Amino acid sequence: MTVAVEPQSAAASETAVSAPPDGATEPQNPRFQSHADFSFGAIGEDLFLMLHAEQSFAHKGFLLQLSAPLRFRVRDNAPSDSPGLREQDWDQASDWARIVRMLSFQHQRDDLRISLELGELNGVSMGHGALIGQYFNSTDMDYYQGGLDVDVQISHLGVSFFMSNVVEPALFAGRLETAPLAWFLDAPMAQRFALGMTLFGDRGVPHRALETGRTALVVVGFDAAFRFVDLPRAFTSVYVDWGVMDGSGGVHLGLAGTFLLSENRDIRLSAQAEYRYAGEDYYPAFVNPFYDYNRHWFSVDEGTGMHNTFAEHLANPRMDTKNAHGLMLESRMNFGTKTNFLIRYDYLNRHRPHWLLLQLSITPTPRWFVNGFYAGQDIAGGAGIFSGEALMGLAIGQQFLGPLRWFAEWQRRFRSIATGMPAHRNEFSSGVGVVFSY
């Protein structure tokens, strides 16, 4: 994921709605941008005045965005909250990471490619997405997380690292991949076969109802892939992934392809289809848009009526003791930096069987943007599409007269995932601002 430097709405600056399009490029000359926004809106039942200032610097693949978002409560409806500055935005150590909205570095030369992102992470995947697929680290509006996502590829070796929160670390993942035959053979065919290993750890596994002594969850996966179509404008691979979670295993068999539909390679179509077999306690792509929610609120024990965290669900002998089958379908369409669309659907024939992700970003001109986002869980038969576990949003903005711009946004996220019974809340805002680029 590459970060665009074009202005986003102040209210959208911390949401998946404002995630910039993949494929955006940074200017080669140093560029500074300053903007200040004033907006009015609602969060849940309360009304807020919102002030936001941001300074960014971009040069040759490097981007730094410093942000100061402030929300002042101007009308407090029941339940009662403290007046003035919204305390939930700054009451935890990790909230202060929002000052560095994004630090990004992209570099490619010869056989070396480096990608680094520090800030809010939207749609993190590793490998084929068998263990970690489209993870979002700030789905709780009251708990901001500044994460780190690093990917380095040198010749025939690739190393990736991810952590969800650099201030209060809990989730970690690392990946190592290589083309083993390419170390010994100079033939082009040697580059087509790849092996990989992914390791994920959650060092803060929540427990409430069950006491198992567990303090961490560790998941490991291995994969192999062969690129059987390798043309200048088309690439297709077949792959197999094996994963191990809590003593159970799973297998993923998939096909993935990328097609460049224009001479300048700006129009790109990517597609992936995968069959899954899951053992008793194995959940494919369990680190997904809903992981921060599911690790606290995964299931309900019908015998006791109590909620299970994800770790408690794995340890509870009454929950999901059967093997399962499933599938995953994903497609991404990129039209340069102007229009980008992603759809992903995951299915498993047991608890938490369905989740759907949709993302849309349209930037027809540098002065316009429209961003949309939807993520729904347990959507069997369509009944859960707009349930309390669905996240969604829409943002639109225009720079209309010199440095002046307007913007409007609506989004729905979780509240109080870790501190109480979670609920979703709507956020609305609309306002004006100024943007200066130099």
- The tens digit of pLDDT for each residue in 336-353 reads 888 999 999 999 988 776
Looking at per-residue confidence, does 217 or 167 come out higher? 167
Tokens representing residue 110 in the block:
């010869």
The DSSP output letter for 229 is: E
pLDDT at 211: 53
Task: Give the residue among 127, 133, 122, 118 at the shortest CA–CA distance from 158.
Answer: 127
pLDDT at 275: 98
pLDDT at 255: 98
pLDDT at 206: 78
Please report which confidence band the pLDDT of residue 104 belongs to, taking 50, 70 and 90 as the band edges.
very high
Cβ of 409: how many Cβ atoms within 10 Å?
A: 26
Does residue 20 register a pLDDT over 60? no
- The tens digit of pLDDT for each residue in 271-307 reads 999 999 999 889 999 999 999 999 888 888 777 778 8
- The tens digit of pLDDT for each residue in 136-156 reads 998 999 999 999 999 999 999
Does residue 5 register a pLDDT over 60? no
pLDDT at 4: 30
Please report which confidence band the pLDDT of residue 55 belongs to, taking 50, 70 and 90 as the band edges.
very high
pLDDT at 8: 37
Does residue 21 register a pLDDT over 80? no
Q: pLDDT averaged over the chain?
A: 87
pLDDT at 358: 96
Task: Give the residue among 333, 330, 355 at the shortest CA–CA distance from 343.
Answer: 330
Looking at per-residue confidence, does 234 or 321 come out higher? 234
Looking at per-residue confidence, does 255 or 19 come out higher? 255
List the beta strands (DSSP E) in 208-280. Answer: 217-231, 234-245, 248-260, 267-278
Indicate the pTM of the whole model.
0.89
Please report which confidence band the pLDDT of residue 313 belongs to, taking 50, 70 and 90 as the band edges.
confident
Burial 360-378 (b: 16+ CB within 10 A, else e): bbbbeeeebbbbbbbbbbb
Task: Give the residue among 45, 103, 46 at the shortest CA–CA distance from 72.
Answer: 46
Cβ of 293: how many Cβ atoms within 10 Å?
A: 20
Amino acid symbol at 11? A
pLDDT at 12: 34
- The tens digit of pLDDT for each residue in 59-74 reads 999 999 999 999 999 9
Does residue 16 register a pLDDT over 50? no
Residues ≥6 apart with Cβ < 8 Å to 102: 3, 63, 64, 65, 117, 118, 119, 120
pLDDT at 192: 95
- The tens digit of pLDDT for each residue in 377-401 reads 887 666 667 777 789 999 999 999 9
pLDDT at 163: 97
Please report which confidence band the pLDDT of residue 3 belongs to, taking 50, 70 and 90 as the band edges.
very low
Could you give the angle at the alpha carbon of 219 between the alpha carbons of 215 and 221, nearest 5°? 170
Please report which confidence band the pLDDT of residue 417 belongs to, taking 50, 70 and 90 as the band edges.
confident
- The tens digit of pLDDT for each residue in 170-206 reads 999 999 999 999 999 988 899 999 999 999 999 887 7
pLDDT at 10: 32
Tell me if 245 sits within 8 A of 281, measured CB to CB: yes
Does residue 1 register a pLDDT over 80? no
Give mean pLDDT, residues 66-88. Answer: 89
Q: How far apart are CA 152 and CA 164, in angstroms?
A: 18
Does residue 115 register a pLDDT over 60? yes
pLDDT at 382: 62
Q: How far apart are CA 172 and CA 206, in angstroms?
A: 16
pLDDT at 212: 56
- The tens digit of pLDDT for each residue in 253-265 reads 999 999 999 888 8
Does residue 27 register a pLDDT over 80? no
Give mean pLDDT, residues 113-128. Answer: 96
